[in-house]
Amino acid sequence: MNELESLKSIFKDRIFKIPDYQRGYAWTTRQLKDFWEDLVNLPVDRFHYTGLLSLKKVDRNIWANWNDERWLIEDRGFKPFHIVDGQQRLTTFVIFIQAISEQLRAIPENKDKKDEEIYLGSFSLKAIKEEYLVIEKPPQFIITTYKFGYEVDNPSFKYLRHKVFLEPDSGTVQETFYTLNLENAKRFFKENLQNYYDKYGLSEIEALFKKVTQNLMFNVYEISDDFDVFVAFETMNNRGKKLSNLELLKNRLIYLTTLYDEKELKNDERNSLREKINDAWKEVYYQLGRNKQNPLNDDDFLVAHWIMYFQYTREKGDDYIRFLLEQKFTPQNIYAKTEVKLSSLQEFEEVREDEDTDQEEVEVNGDEEITVLRSQLSPKEIEDYVNSLKAAAVHWYNTHNPINNPDLTEQESLWIDRLNRIGIIYFRPLVTVSYLSKGVNSDKRVQLFSSIERFIFITFRLSRAFSTYRNSEFYRAARQLRNGELTIDNIVQRLNDRMNYCFYTPENSKETYFDYTYFQKFIDKKFKSGGGFYYWNGLRYFLYEYEMEKVRRRGSQKIDWRLFVKSEKDKVSIEHIYPQTPTHKNWKDSFKNYKKLQLPFFQGTLGNLLPLSQSINSSLQNDCFDDKKNAKYNEKNEKIRQGYSDGSHSEIEVAGYDTWNPDTILERGNRLLEFMEKRWDLKFEDETAKAELLFLDFMLPEEDSNEEE
């Protein structure tokens, strides 16, 4: 362990690279705020211990291939290092210093000045950049060398250069899960520095710069052994922002490539395998961060891929990562050897570069078998695994982002969107793997997606099965489909078979009907808690599908799903047409023939619930029916609610009724159940069954009740 060093000392005559086994920049706003507050509150005459900086000196055979950095190493004696631990803090420091340089450049009096003419105290902007950020090679100034960066094939390095350090002429810059954090850090520091400058002036910006570069102190430790590098990465990084399992796995796989002996994995093959690991992770993190508004969780992806690729088990928690890191991809599985029988010709082909083997002798003994020792975990297994991860990543992204996705057909997009809206639960691996399986075309995928959607709606939203019902079976089906052990038709048949308990066939009948008793019991509990169908977790999906059916026939979509499911305080997007507090005289007249105890069933039944194209204040629900049909204005003639007559297709349909009373509620409820029958291919036995499910069977004529008895 060396003496404490400041950032100024650490950056003197050193070049830093983040190696390929490292994760990208992982700090989020929470860590940035902590850093900023520590820096602002640190007295200018005090030092602050910042932690351990673990470095590994880069071998000549590696840095000799660094075109842009080699001149500093060979001509000026700079020493190249990989950052093993501390890269999150160093990345933060250089982004902070870049933000300071941009703050200096933005000051009006510096507008037309060159970098060497702009000063922060006694430091010129040119000197600041060259000391911590970037140096151009004289005399041509064609080569631009960054003192801190990533391995050149990492998308984060290009993003850092062009989007953070503002190198011009970027071309296309790939954005990933990690570049979002780089972008956020740059924005965070620019905003805070501008506010700090506006409040305190340039002298306090200079004080912040001095504190960053001179008052924050590191223990700098150089690691000498390659083995220690990988162990240090797994252990040291967990002190800060915990490594994700996907990040740990990448480090582990790269480490394993270093353990094979030369006979089993030659150097060119080792380098190729390492490149394939990097390419796979590059693609994965690109896909995970592709949608800036909704970046995907890396561990969720890793779990799903484990389900697709390996034998699923029902153990809880971190079973998947224990399997990957403690059973499958371990050093022990490389050190442990297994016997492999090869023909002597195969053996000759493998060893001929190293052994003086007679070709003629091999041909004579070509039928003989030679036993050789190979690692239990072969390099080919690692290659196949990382290639599978890479291939799955784009389809994983597509399952989360189906709308306007050119990689999907219109029908695929429609059904995946439905699955996301209804709640895809445990089926996403199966949906993803349908794109990885040979012989599965778009029509078959749509058949699978529609069958999954029907299964979810009937089994979970109506029949109230536990959310884990049959999950192990369909997790295994994902792997079996990928391996060709099951077909789409097999899986669709299974989905249908697993719904048998949801249906019944009466005696002396050939018809099969939906058994609504599970659903009815569930809704009964909701009525007892004061909500009825309004508290059904499938209501929004159901009403939205009813609305979209009308959109498909008439055009003009009027309900935005994101706004429809958005929860706003004191606002509603599904209205009780007959309100829960019916104070208006018209309501009392329309429902006067029914008992007080029966009124909540009219309020909470399915036919009385209406999806609105625009959410309204809940107080507006209490208007009479005629007022609801037309737009409502306040005293300033400002519209405060949209009327049914110019609302969603469902609203327009309801606006077609002259009055809203018990009979119309039952009629609309039956219409909605008829849609349910057609849309999800189920059937209710008769009108009495529908009335019972709607909790309006007390409205039926007496003779209907007697026949039912």
pLDDT in tens, 315-340: 556 788 889 988 999 999 999 888 77
Alpha-carbon gap, residue 136 to 114, rounded angstroms: 15
How many angstroms from the chain centroid is the CA of residue 321?
A: 18
Q: What residue type is 2 in one-letter code? A: N
Distance CA 599, CA 688 (A): 19
pLDDT digits (tens, 9 = 90+) for 111-157: 889 999 999 999 999 999 999 999 999 998 899 999 999 886 778 88
**Does the pLDDT of residue 689 top 50, yes or no?**
yes
Banded pLDDT at 312 (limits 50, 70, 90):
confident
Nearest one of 241, 152, 114, 62 to 160, comparing CA atoms: 152
Alpha helices in 630-695 (DSSP H): 649-655, 662-679, 687-693
For 296-322, what is the mean pLDDT? 85
Query: Which residues neighbour 98 within 8 Å (Cβ) at sequence distance 6 or greater?
Result: 133, 164, 165, 166, 186
| C-alpha span between 673 and 669 (Å, rounded) | 6
Can you say how many angstroms the Cα of residue 674 is from the centroid of all Cα atoms in its chain? 37
Q: Is the pLDDT of residue 2 over 70?
A: no
Instruction: Pick the closest to residue 673 from 654, 687, 660 (CA basis).
Output: 687
Cis amide bond preceding 80, omega within 30: no
Specify the DSSP class assigned to residue 160.
Answer: I
Do 538 and 709 form a contact (C-beta atoms < 8 A)?
no
- Which two tokens mark 402? 């189906």
Q: Which residues contact 23 (CB under 8 A, 6 or more apart)?
A: 178, 237, 243, 244, 247, 250
> Can you say how many angstroms the Cα of residue 650 is from the centroid of all Cα atoms in its chain?
34
677 DSSP assignment: H
pLDDT at 268 over 50: yes
Distance CA 623, CA 575 (A): 11
Question: Beta-carbon neighbour count of residue 663 at 10 Å?
Answer: 12
Residues 195, 401: Cα–Cα separation, whole Å: 37
Coil, strand, or helix at residue 446?
helix
Query: What is the pLDDT averaged over residues 270-287?
Result: 92
- For CA atoms 513, 515, 520, 522, the dihedral sign is negative
DSSP lists the bridge partners of residue 17 as 82, 149
Residue with tokens 């590191």: 218
- Return the percentage of the chain with pLDDT > 70, whole number: 92
592: left (phi over 0), alpha (psi -120 to 50) or beta: alpha
| β partners of residue 514 | 503
pLDDT at site 705:
45
User: pTM to 2 decimals?
Assistant: 0.81
- Mean pLDDT over each residue of the chain, to the nearest integer: 89
Mean pLDDT of 581-597: 92
The phi and psi torsions of 666 (rounded to 5 degrees) equal -65, -40
**Rounded to 10 degrees, what is the CA torsion of 138, 143, 147, 150?**
-170
Question: Residue 6: how many CB atoms within 10 A of its CB?
Answer: 17
- Averaged pLDDT for residues 258-265: 91
What is the C-alpha separation between 304 and 324, in angstroms, rounded? 13
95 in Cβ contact with 189 (< 8 Å) = yes
What type of residue is 590? S
Q: What pLDDT shows up at residue 236? A: 53
Is 70 exceeded by the pLDDT of residue 345?
no
Greatest pairwise CA separation for the chain in angstroms = 107
Burial class from Cβ neighbours inside 10 Å (0-12, 13-18, 19+) for residue 555 reads exposed
Please answer whether residues 440 and 488 qualify as being in contact, where contact means their C-beta atoms are separated by less than 8 angstroms: yes
Rounded average pLDDT over 272-278: 92
Structure tokens at 47: 């030092």
What angle do helix axes 379-400 and 245-257 make, rounded to 10 degrees? Answer: 150
- Within 10 angstroms of residue 253's Cβ, the number of other Cβ atoms is 23
Q: What is the DSSP letter of 671?
A: H
Residue with tokens 């291919």, as numbered in its chain? 681
CA 191 to chain centre: 28
Per-residue model confidence (pLDDT) at position 338: 85
Strands 337-343 and 148-150: unpaired
pLDDT at site 86: 87
Place of tokens 């005090």: 46
45 pLDDT band, cuts 50/70/90, is: confident
Neighbours of 2 (CB within 10 A): 10
Provide the pLDDT confidence category of residue 229 given band limits of 50, 70 and 90.
Answer: low
pLDDT of residue 709 exceeding 90, the answer is no
pLDDT above 50 for 392: yes
Tokens read off for 223: 């690691």
For residues 159 and 638, which has the higher predicted lDDT (pLDDT)? Answer: 159
Phi, psi (5° rounding) for residue 145? -115, 125
Beta bridge partner(s), residue 48: 216
Residue range 590-618: mean pLDDT, rounded:
94
- Asked whether the predicted pLDDT for residue 351 surpasses 50, the reply is no
For residue 33, give Cα distances in angstroms to 68, 200, 216, 403: 34, 19, 16, 35
Select from 232, 278, 224 the least CA-distant residue to 21.
Answer: 278
Give the model's pLDDT for residue 376: 92
334 contacts 258 by C-beta, under 8 angstroms: no
CB 390 within 8 A of CB 309: no
DSSP assignment of 51-83 equals EEEEEEEPPHHHHTT-TTTHHHHHHH--EEEEE
CA distance readout (Å), 458 to 327, 497, 510, 528? 39, 13, 21, 23
**Can you read off the two tokens belonging to residue 252?**
């582990």
| pLDDT (average), residues 72-101 | 93
User: At 217, which helix (H) or strand (E)?
Assistant: strand 216-223
**Per mean pLDDT, which range of 48-62, 119-133, 158-172, 224-238 is the poorest?**
224-238
Cβ contact 161:168 at 8 Å: no
Q: How many Cβ atoms from other residues are within 10 Å of residue 496's Cβ?
A: 13
- Burial class for 700, CB neighbours closer than 10 Å (0-12, 13-18, 19+): middle
pLDDT at 608 over 90: yes
Range with lowest mean pLDDT among 212-221, 345-354, 436-445, 643-652: 345-354
What is the distance between the alpha carbons of residues 622 and 572, in angstroms, rounded to a whole number?
A: 12
Contact (CB, 8 A) for 89 and 34? no
E-strand ranges in 541-608 read: 571-576
DSSP 226-275: HHHHHHHHHHHGGGSSPPPHHHHHHHHHHHHHTTS-TTTS-HHHHHHHHH
291 phi and psi angles, rounded to 5 deg: -95, 105
How many residues are recorded in the chain?
709
Adjacent-strand bridge partners of 372:
340
pLDDT of residue 537: 95
Q: Show Cβ contacts of residue 640 under 8 Å, excluding neighbours closer than 6 positions.
A: 617, 620, 632, 633, 634
